[in-house]
Amino acid sequence: MIIENKYLHLDASYQGLSAQELKDFAEQRLPENFDALRNQLLRGEFMNASEGRKVSHCLSRSIHSVVAAGNGKNRFSDMVRELRSGRWLGATGKPIQHVVNIGVGGSDLGPMMGSFALREFADDSSLHNLEVHFVSSMDGGQLYAVFPLIDPETTVFIIASKSFGTIDTLANVDTVRKWVAAPGEGRESLTHEQWLSRHVIGVSANSVAMNDFGIPAAQQLTFAPTVGGRFSLWSAIGLPIALTIGVHQFSRMLAGAKDIDDHFGSAPVLENIPLLMALIGVYNREERGINNLAVLPYDGRLRYLPSYLQQLDMESNGKQADHSGKAIDYPTGPVVWGGFGPNGQHAFFQHLHQGYDAFTADFIAVLKRQAPDFEPGVQEGLAEQQRLAMANCLAHRKLMWFGNENKEDPRHNYPGKHPSSLLFMDELTPESFGALIAAYEHKVFTQGVIWGLNSFDQPGVELGKKAATEILAVLDGKAAVSDDFDASTAAMLKRF
């Protein structure tokens, strides 16, 4: 069973479900008002009830909406052009050579994945030597690696945070501020005013906080609070992608997503890729009791896809309360994990083939890859490798489904019966990449509707932040180790 769309195709043959079974399951599980809810989503009118606002990421599928977002004065395209052409000068008159995106979760994973996946599509008509780096982790681990590569005079920092209040991001920014102001070997420092004047871009839905921070209005990009963090790579949060590939190529990515919006909104169930992905996922979760989905891209450019989908799916649908806040007693979103398929073969595939655990998988493949910039001999070598990867992708999914029974020798017995889907693209292009990501967004939305969840809030991340604040007070010497701490935490606090 292969469903073809303009940019993205789905082969669900190894799910072991006939068209009739899927049709019946859809009738059983899609609520009567599904069409209405889907239209609301696509028109930006679906309600995120617990946060009391609409969900509008589908309205960001054109460059005009990105530019016009917030106060209608976003300089998104100008900034991209100036930075990519070397016309953006730092406070001491030097052209900017490095951009560091500081953000976490949705303000990091999407931009990082997209920049990495699409870098060969860089429209380099105006390109000078601009390098884009990503810093997300609260431990400062990435700053250790980035500082030696950059210079305050030639670096712009993007502070990417929808809320502009995320401690991880603010902690990284604070350390950057200290680094910029401290003279180092072989580099000049900048004053705080110089830094703010030319070296900081804020991307946020919170312009008040960006003003309070001191970011000049011309260096602020805003987007609507109705765009969820994990759905925000289409908005100004996608700036690092546009800086990597240019505004025109970024628009192509948005166009691919829009194409899937239209497909999702109009294709009948059995021809509707996101809808089928959702129904299949619900079927595997409920009827087969499988609690996890392995995402296995077979194209290295998509190696950050599993982490991106982890947030998209798990933060959206890993919930135990329905949209009205009532407890639910059925399983919801699966654990999403995975990794770059060819390397996974030499790491965790042993367990997949012969371990005890049930799993379902999404194999992601790209059929053709052009390498016009290389010598003919090298092109041939790369084409052979493309075929090799494809052969392995097809072989492993086949083996996972059909197995290979060996009654005599259990060491060589492959039980099989692990259902998987193959999502494939003729070529990886900005459009097909946009289509792939939007298809997963709509899958997650549909599953949320089926399970009666609000897929657009994330209350489960709050308590951890509160607990960390209490512990940090002790580590900072502002509070004592009280009896409220359990023995293990108390012992660690003393030791630290």
Give the residue numbers marked as catalytic: 315, 346, 465
Token representation of residue 197: 């004047």
* Selected binder of ligand F6P within 230, 301, 323, 396 (CB under 6 A): 230
The residue (of 162 and 418) whose beta carbon lies closer to ligand F6P is 162
Residues 62, 254 contacting (CB under 8 angstroms): yes
- Under rule CB under 6 A, residue 15 binds ligand F6P: no
- Under rule CB under 6 A, residue 319 binds ligand F6P: no
Binding-site string for ligand F6P from residue 124 to residue 153, where x marks contact by CB under 6 A and - marks none: ------------------------------
- Under rule CB under 6 A, residue 105 binds ligand F6P: yes
CA 363/CA 427 separation, integer angstroms: 15
The residue (of 84 and 230) whose beta carbon lies closer to ligand F6P is 230
- 63-79 as b/e: b if 16+ CB within 10 A: bebbbebbeeebbbbeb
Which three-class secondary structure state does DSSP give residue 267? Answer: coil
Which three-class secondary structure state does DSSP give residue 298? Answer: coil
* Selected binder of ligand F6P within 15, 74, 166, 219 (CB under 6 A): 166
Binding-site string for ligand F6P from residue 457 to residue 486, where x marks contact by CB under 6 A and - marks none: -x--x-------------------------
- Under rule CB under 6 A, residue 106 binds ligand F6P: yes
- Under rule CB under 6 A, residue 317 binds ligand F6P: no
Strand 420-427 to 2-4 pairing: unpaired
- Under rule CB under 6 A, residue 345 binds ligand F6P: no
CA 347/CA 81 separation, integer angstroms: 42
The residue (of 314 and 361) whose beta carbon lies closer to ligand F6P is 314
Which three-class secondary structure state does DSSP give residue 133? Answer: strand
* Cβ partners under 8 Å of residue 387, min gap 6: none
CB of 208 vs ligand F6P, minimal distance in Å: 14
The interface region with ligand F6P, picked from 71-79, 99-107, 329-337, 476-484 by CB under 6 A, is 99-107
Residues 395, 401 contacting (CB under 8 angstroms): no
Full DSSP string of 71-139:
TS---HHHHHHHHHHT--B-TTSPBP-EEEEE--GGGTHHHHHHHHHHGGG--GGG--S-EEEEE--TT
Radius of gyration of the chain (CA): 24
CB of 165 vs ligand F6P, minimal distance in Å: 7
The interface region with ligand F6P, picked from 148-156, 158-166, 341-349, 387-395 by CB under 6 A, is 158-166
- Under rule CB under 6 A, residue 57 binds ligand F6P: no
User: Applying CB under 6 A, which residues contact ligand F6P?
Assistant: 104-107, 161-163, 166, 169, 229-230, 315, 458, 461
